[in-house]
């Protein structure tokens, strides 16, 4: 899985994250390794609770320090391990190098401050400009995401859900970050607004030459937006590779199941084929392959031994004993 060192921008090595709750240990991320080249887009796909958001928060280093623990691994941005840098340095990395679009704009925005103030604050902190200049730049960012600059003095409750998401995107892009983490940015939006937001993210990504890590459970969004895809289950990457390869030849039973649950316009079927069962309890993961209790191909080897990632096509990797 080695890539050209000059192109490799984000590299996650064997990341392991745990939460503690009511005396129990929740194994949220269990040895995730990912790589992303400069200017490329990677879609991280999986069910709720698979560990997607935890990975993004680990990159930003904004996990709750009381309830969460990074038990191992490294996260390199431009060759710097962000898990080891001092907090003062990390504050400079956030927004300037990596920024995040949060899933719910209702909770991401401060309800008692104007949207212009919230964008300008980020700009002023990281660009060492005057209050007046930061406000003008905030208005410019609003226009870039399709909101009239005159609305900078309004409050979040005066905006629709789609407009709030645009404000969150403006905050994330205010300092031209090199890496954009988008955590299910269209989940709460209707399909029309969803398409507009995705198109805008793509345009701004090209304009700023940013890399994109898109977290979602929607394979359709990944197909429209990303160059590569990584499928995560129970805190582990089970399949990843170029979009064309993974979509044309899904190989892990979980990936096959995700595609089987999607409606298709070119086929007539009476019922979709959902994946049987439920995701495993993260406080008590099964032995061997975590997917084996739900897998139609499971063998005794799957129940006893955790499969390792291996290349099944050029750049296409899968962790399954039966592939």
pLDDT at 273: 75
Is residue 250, in this structure, part of any structural domain at all? Answer: yes
Phi and psi for 41 in degrees, rounded to 5? -120, 135
Measured distance CA(56)–CA(20) in Å, rounded: 19
What pairing do the DSSP bridges indicate for beta strands 68-77 and 98-101? Answer: unpaired
Residue 33 belongs to a domain: no
Q: Which domain holds residue 246?
A: 231-323
Q: Does any domain span residue 146? A: no
How many Å apart are CA 228 and CA 271, to the nearest integer? 29
Q: What pLDDT does 139 receive? A: 95
- Taking CA 162 as the corner, what is the angle to CA 157 and CA 164, rounded to the nearest 5 degrees? 40
Task: For residue 159, give the 3-state DSSP assignment.
Answer: coil
> Does residue 2 fall inside a structural domain?
no
153 lies in a domain?
Answer: no
Q: Extract the residue ranges of the chain whose pLDDT is less than 70.
A: 1-8, 188, 264-267, 269-270
The Cα 272–Cα 289 span in angstroms is 25
Number of domains observed in the structure of the chain: 1
Q: Would 160 be classed as within a structural domain?
A: no
What is the rounded distance in angstroms from the CA atom of residue 47 to the CA atom of residue 66?
25
pLDDT of residue 1: 39
pTM score: 0.89
Rounded CA-CA distance 252/247 in Å is: 12
Q: Is 172 exposed, middle or buried (0-12, 13-18, 19+ CB in 10 A)?
A: buried
Sign of CA dihedral 26, 31, 36, 42: negative
* 315 domain-assigned: yes
Answer whether 273's CB lies under 8 Å from 230's CB.
Answer: no
The answer as to whether 11 is a domain residue is no
Half-sphere exposure of 214 (CA within 13 A, CB side): 28
| Per-position DSSP letters for 229-294, written without gaps between them | EEEEETTEEEEEEEHHHHHHS--SHHHHHHHHTS--TT---SS--PPPS-PPPTTSPPSS-TTGGG
How many alpha carbons fall within 13 Å on the CB side of residue 70? 24
């Amino acid at each position: 899985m080695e890539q050209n060192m000059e192109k490799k921008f984000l590299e996650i090595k064997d990341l392991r994250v745990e939460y503690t709750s009511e005396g129990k240990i929740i194994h949220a991320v269990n040895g995730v390794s990912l790589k992303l080249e400069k200017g490329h887009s990677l879609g991280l796909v999986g069910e709720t609770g698979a560990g997607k958001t935890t990975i993004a928060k680990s990159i930003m280093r904004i996990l709750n320090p009381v309830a969460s623990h990074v038990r191992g691994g490294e996260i390199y941005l431009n060759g710097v391990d962000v898990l080891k840098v001092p907090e003062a340095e990390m504050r400079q990395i956030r927004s300037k190098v990596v920024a995040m679009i949060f899933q719910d704009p209702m909770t991401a925005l401060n309800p008692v401050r104007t949207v212009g103030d919230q964008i300008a604050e980020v700009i002023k902190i990281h660009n060492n400009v005057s209050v007046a200049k930061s406000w003008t730049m905030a208005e410019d960012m609003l226009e870039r995401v399709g909101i009239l600059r005159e609305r900078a003095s309004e409050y979040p409750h005066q905006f629709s859900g789609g407009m709030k998401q645009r404000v969150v995107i403006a905050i994330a892009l205010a300092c031209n970050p090199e890496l954009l983490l988008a955590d299910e940015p269209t989940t709460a939006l209707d399909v029309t607004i969803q398409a507009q937001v995705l198109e805008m993210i793509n345009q701004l990504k090209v304009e700023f030459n940013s890399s994109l890590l898109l977290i979602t459970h929607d394979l359709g969004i990944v197909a429209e937006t990303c160059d590569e895809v990584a499928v995560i289950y129970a805190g582990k990457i089970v399949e990843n590779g170029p979009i064309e390869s993974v979509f044309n030849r899904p190989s892990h039973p979980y990936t096959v199941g995700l595609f089987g649950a999607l409606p298709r316009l070119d086929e007539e079927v009476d019922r979709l084929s959902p994946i049987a069962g439920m995701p495993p309890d993260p406080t008590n993961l099964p032995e061997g392959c975590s997917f084996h209790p739900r897998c139609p191909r499971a063998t005794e080897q799957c129940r006893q031994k955790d499969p390792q990632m291996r290349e099944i096509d050029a750049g296409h990797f899968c962790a399954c004993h039966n592939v």
